[in-house]
Chain A
Amino acid sequence: MADILEQASNWLEDQRTEHATRTVTYERGASTVAVSAGIGRTIFEVDNGFGIVERTESRDFLVLAADLVLAGSPVLPERGDRVREIQVATTFVYEVMAPGKEPHWRYSDPYRKTLRIHTKHVSTETT
């Protein structure tokens, strides 16, 4: 019997991808792929070991796992990968990373259809 919650979740993810995303370029070295990404954020609170909790906000890109294909093979995000997001004449470059022992990506839904990729802004390019 079909899992209607999975069906509903998948439908929602497809709707999100169709109506609430923008095209960004995902890069790993020389390999790139254009993907539709929703924009989100995560606030991490990490104890630095000296009694101070550091608060870090990441920019998250929500991407369909099936869309993340580099050099012909489906891949999962790796630290150091880059996401280039163009806004008018400015390209914002983000790098995949997360503070402390936090994972740099996770699945955004229970059915592993969408990746939530944590990034930090590393440079800005103006054309």
Chain B
Amino acid sequence: MAVITDIADAVAAEINAGSFSQPIDAKREYLPVFELEDMQSLRVTVVPKSLTTLPGGRAHNQHDFAIDVAVQQKLQTTDNAEIDDLLTLVDEIADHFRFKRLSSFPNAMWLKTENEPVYAQEHLQELRQFTSILTFTFRVMR
């Protein structure tokens, strides 16, 4: 299997093994397309995003693997309290990976986390759905 897929699986496993303010069942997907009907409960999706390879030394390269983690849920009210809880969860997931190596893929070292968008305003307005994307970058030297 491709290394980026292994890393995405490791990210999903790491999330599922973690302890958060809400129960999570993260799944890896290649094509994260869902119907609104399927978004009534919390959905966390792990998607391989990109790979950048740079010289790392005479005999090896540094490979930076970007993995997207989408946190999504159809909202009932769109009031602050409901959204606050989901943003807290996003924060917790982001924190969970800081300065860590992935348990099931220890060669991958956390490099950075981006949260863009913190929440998708168009999803909130058009679909009354919370969508936040975390992009984790892991570095593998090989």
Chain A residues at the B interface, C-beta cutoff of 8 Å: 79-80, 95, 97-100, 120-124
Q: Is the CB of B40 within 8 A of A97?
A: no
**Across the two chains, which residue of chain A brings its CB closest to B39?**
A122
Verify if B49 is at the interface (C-beta below 8 Å from A): no
Majority secondary structure of chain B interface residues (helix, strand, loop or mixed): helix
Residues of A within 8 A of B74 (CB): 122
Verify if B128 is at the interface (C-beta below 8 Å from A): yes
Residues of A within 8 A of B35 (CB): 121
Q: Is the CB of A122 within 8 A of B126?
A: no
Q: Is the CB of A121 within 8 A of B126?
A: no
Q: Is the CB of B37 within 8 A of A99?
A: no
| A and B contact pairs by CB, cutoff 8 A, 18 listed | A79-B128, A80-B78, A80-B128, A95-B36, A97-B126, A97-B127, A98-B126, A99-B126, A100-B122, A120-B36, A120-B127, A121-B35, A122-B36, A122-B37, A122-B40, A122-B74, A123-B37, A123-B40
- The listed residue with most B CB atoms (<10 A of its CB), out of A120, A122, A123, is A122
Extra 15 A-B pairs, beta carbons < 8 Å, given A100-B122, A121-B35, A124-B37: A79-B128, A80-B78, A80-B128, A95-B36, A97-B126, A97-B127, A97-B128, A99-B126, A100-B126, A120-B36, A120-B127, A121-B36, A122-B36, A122-B74, A123-B40
**Across the two chains, which residue of chain A brings its CB closest to B77?**
A80
A80 to B122, CA, bound (A): 14
A97 to B74, CA, bound (A): 13
**Across the two chains, which residue of chain B brings its CB closest to A104?**
B126
Chain B residues at the A interface, C-beta cutoff of 8 Å: 35-37, 40, 74, 78, 122, 125-128
Residues of A within 8 A of B40 (CB): 122-123
> Of A79, A97, A121, which contacts B37 at CB under 8 A?
A121
Q: How far is the CB of B37 from chain A (nearest CB, A)?
A: 6
Q: Pick the 10 closest A-B CB pairs, nearest first.
A: A122-B36, A123-B37, A80-B128, A120-B36, A99-B126, A122-B37, A97-B126, A121-B37, A123-B40, A97-B127
**Across the two chains, which residue of chain B brings its CB closest to A93?**
B37
Residues of B within 8 A of A99 (CB): 126
Q: How far is the CB of B130 from chain A (nearest CB, A)?
A: 14
Q: How far is the CB of B54 from chain A (nearest CB, A)?
A: 27
**Across the two chains, which residue of chain A brings its CB closest to B78?**
A80
**Across the two chains, which residue of chain B brings its CB closest to A29?**
B77
Q: How far is the CB of A44 from chain B (nearest CB, A)?
A: 11
Q: How far is the CB of B95 from chain A (nearest CB, A)?
A: 31
